[in-house]
Amino acid sequence: MVDFLEQVLGKNSEIVLHDFSDPDHAIVDIRNGIVSGRKVGGPATDLALKIMHDAKYRDLPFITGYEGRGAGGKTLESATYFIRENDEIVGMLCVNTDLSTVRSINAMAQQLMACFDAVPRQAEPASIEVESLSESTQELIDRSISELLESRGMEVSSLGQADRVDVIRHLNGNGVFMLKGAVACAASALGISEPSVYRYLQKVRKEG
């Protein structure tokens, strides 16, 4: 199937096969990895961890039309098919397509059309999912924390203890601590010790 999709979709589409049995090395096959900068042996993405962790995906056959973020902040059009064994999701087959050239042409066309058409265009609906296509656990956690703090207008340097606990709660809720080394990576990203992360994580998990 991976070979087939590579031939059909062409070089602007990355095809990735994930195996959930080893989240730290979930990527078992990848074609056109230059699209996101990833390679075989790379970790599960934030979305993959959420799928493993969140029951809302259990009955879905696939998800389409969501946003992937690749190397250098490149925005991709993404879709994922869930692979099941005994009704459990054990992996996924993903397609991430770089439409940057198409979008640039479309933007120029819209500008040109605006000269002849004064009717305002409706914005496209927001993506229901956003996936960070990270090359390592550290990059995944750095991005997750950065996006969370940016949405709240905060910086790591200004976080108090309650804020740091909330960051750990967010990471835990997204299944990030399923990855080996995630505690060390979170400690590095937050500028705190690993024992502090373990303490915050224990507190969060006790909350249920």
Taking only the tens of pLDDT, the chain with its 208 residues reads 999 999 999 999 999 999 999 999 999 999 999 899 899 999 999 999 999 888 888 889 999 989 898 777 778 999 999 999 998 999 999 999 998 766 666 666 677 667 666 444 554 544 456 788 888 999 999 999 999 999 999 999 999 999 999 999 999 999 999 999 999 999 999 999 999 999 999 999 998 7
Q: Is residue 109 a part of any domain in this protein?
A: no
Q: How many domains does the chain have?
A: 2
Tell me what pLDDT residue 13 has. 94
Count other Cβ atoms within 10 Å, centred on residue 171: 28
CA neighbor of 97 nearest in space, from 114, 117, 120, 79:
79
Range of the domain at 40: 2-100
Q: Is residue 51 a part of any domain in this protein?
A: yes
Q: Is residue 107 a part of any domain in this protein?
A: no
Q: Is residue 45 a part of any domain in this protein?
A: yes
Q: Is residue 127 a part of any domain in this protein?
A: no
Tell me what pLDDT residue 100 has. 73
Positions of E strands within the chain: 13-19, 27-31, 62-69, 75-85, 88-98, 130-132
Please tell me whether residues 36 and 81 are part of one structural domain.
yes
Tell me what pLDDT residue 58 has. 85
Please tell me whether residues 149 and 73 are part of one structural domain.
no
Tell me what pLDDT residue 204 has. 94
Q: Is residue 140 a part of any domain in this protein?
A: yes
Please tell me whether residues 149 and 88 are part of one structural domain.
no
Q: Which of 100, 116, 149 is the last residue of a domain?
A: 100
Q: Is residue 50 a part of any domain in this protein?
A: yes
Please tell me whether residues 72 and 28 are part of one structural domain.
yes
Q: Is residue 121 a part of any domain in this protein?
A: no
| CATH number of the domain where residue 13 is located | 3.30.450.20
Please tell me whether residues 20 and 77 are part of one structural domain.
yes
Please tell me whether residues 15 and 81 are part of one structural domain.
yes
